Structure 1
Amino acid sequence: MNRPQTHEYPAWAETYISKISGDDILDLLEKQGTDFPEFLNTLTEKADYAYAPGKWTIKEMAGHIVDTERILVYRLTCFARAEQHALPGFDEDDYVTNAHFADRSLQSFSEEFALLRKANLYLFKSLNDHELDRSGTASERQISVRALLFVIAGHVIHHTGIIEERYL
């Protein structure tokens, strides 16, 4: 699959899309479905650790990644199905604040992500070129289905890097 062109996504998406090397996004998304849960399972001793006051714990980071996967896949589904209505944005800090991620085990996030990604892969692999080219509005910005696939993968890479750099 070709990489999205810059006109297919808003500036904020570049943070995530730039983390993807190559064009084989479906293979990467599939690989993340096992690699990321395995990575989380190595962090259980630090699950409640935050590297600074006011920063998320590893559990909160994992919960954020799961929440964001759901939201981005909802957007992708809407746009692939030619939704014409604009979709709202979301404030990730509010989502983390209003969740009870500390009450869960890191293992539960690992399992949830693996199952969520496995289910999402059926959708991702079913998309044809016409659907990948479609776009819609979310958070008052246009983004294509293709770009969302790259953002989804890049979001996991981004936060894995933060965990490795600041938490370990």
Structure 2
Amino acid sequence: MNQLSTTSYPSWAAKYISLVSEEVLTEMESQIEEFPKFLNKLIEKVDYAYAPGKWTIRQLTSHILDTERILMYHLVCIARGDIQNLAGFDEDNYVDQTLSNDRSLFEMGEEFRLLRKSNLLYIKALKPAELDRIGSANHLNISAHALVYVLVGHIKHHQNIIAERYL
């Protein structure tokens, strides 16, 4: 994969992208197994929130799954040259609206594993010209290539948050 251009993403994405090495596909692949293992170590704290009004680990994992799907949808649309503005989402509302607050972390980890494996296969099949395409998501320009980094960095970001605030 080519080097990522700093002009191919908005400022909000930088905090995720900065967490990822140039070996983004290797990191993406390693997360397929590593992130579910990380979740399995948190089973005792599944309903713990580090402060009032903050998400529990279960809610945070639900957010991660939703975000994986939404960012990948954006990546697919942009890689395919879609010119419409892609909607953003209200992450707090999505977490509030989920009715799956009884799901196990093991089940959610398995879901992540399948999602990420599918996403990685799709991304590996993209040509450089498709990855270089820029589209609009939430009225901000971003490339499909940058979204690959955001997908990986989003997981790392939340693993860091869990390690710092939940453990």
Give 1:139's aligned residue: 138
Q: Distance in 1 between matches of 2:68 and 2:27?
A: 15
Q: What amino acid sits opposite 2:90 in the alignment?
A: D
- 2:6 corresponds to which residue? 6
Residue pair 2:2, 2:128 contacting (<8 A) in 1 also: no
Q: TM-score, normalised by structure 2?
A: 0.97
In the alignment, is the contact (CA less than 8 A) between 1:80 and 1:131 conserved in 2?
yes
| Mapped partners of 1:124, 1:165: distance in 2 | 31
Q: 1:133–1:144: 8 Å Cα contact kept in structure 2?
A: yes
Match of 1:159 in 2: 158
Give the C-alpha shift of residue 8 in structure 1: 0.3
**What is the TM-score with the length of structure 1 in the denominator?**
0.97
* Greater than 4 Å deviation, 4+ residue runs: none
RMSD: 0.8
* Unaligned residue ranges in structure 2 (runs of 5+): none
Match of 1:96 in 2: 95
CA contact (8 A) 1:60 1:102 kept: yes
Count of residues paired in the alignment:
167
Q: For residue 135 of structure 1, what is the amino acid of its counterpart?
A: I
Aligned counterparts of 1:108 and 1:67: Cα–Cα separation in 2: 14
Q: What SS does structure 1 have at the residue aligned with 2:36?
A: helix
% same residue:
54
Task: Give the AA of the match of 1:140.
Answer: H
Once residues 7 and 70 of structure 1 are traced to their aligned partners in structure 2, the CA distance between those partners, rounded to angstroms, is: 24
Higher deviation after alignment, 154-163 or 97-106: 97-106
Structure 2 residue identity aligned to 1:14: A
Q: Is the 8 A contact 1:3 1:146 kept in 2?
A: no
Q: Does 1:130 align with 2:124?
A: no
For residues 120 and 100 of structure 2, the distance between their equivalents in structure 1, rounded to whole angstroms, comes to 25
- Report SS of the residue matched to 1:67: helix
1:110-155 deviation line (CA, Å, top 9, x unaligned): 1100011111111011011100110100010000011000000000
